[in-house]
Amino acid sequence: MTSCPDAEGAGFEFLPEVQDDANRLDEELRIVIAGLVVELHRNPHLGEPMDDRWPENLEGSRKIRFDKPGWTRKPRYRLVYRNEPSDGAVGKIVVLAIGRRDEMVAYAKASARLARRMARESRRPKRRG
């Protein structure tokens, strides 16, 4: 999972570690994730917006709660992503992490990955237009 263009122009980017996240889950959950990705292509605003609670750098990101089919209690897993840009028409959906919600695992992974991504981008030379 790296990136793929959306039919309506928005691209999809999976941070490299997200493939490992998905591979650690069982097949039932990977099938659910595949369905969520299809839904995100149709509606990039599908997930709940995240606020400024910890981790603060995820403010403006979105989360989707999910679990195995038939699970009747609170969903145990989260898919955390960002729409870029966050205002106006979405140009790209960036999936930051997939994982369990307990002990904030999915959020901690997403936060660390986003921080590394932002640091890399800030070191890139700016293009002149």
Domains of the chain (ranges; CATH) run 3-122 (3.30.2310.20)
pLDDT digit string, tens, across residues 8-47: 557 999 999 999 999 999 999 999 999 999 999 999 999 9
Average pLDDT score over the chain: 89
Contacts of 65 (CB under 8 A, 6+ apart): 48, 74, 75, 77, 78, 101
pLDDT at 5: 44
The pTM assigned to this predicted structure is 0.87
In this model, does residue 97 exceed pLDDT 70?
Answer: yes
pLDDT of residue 109: 96
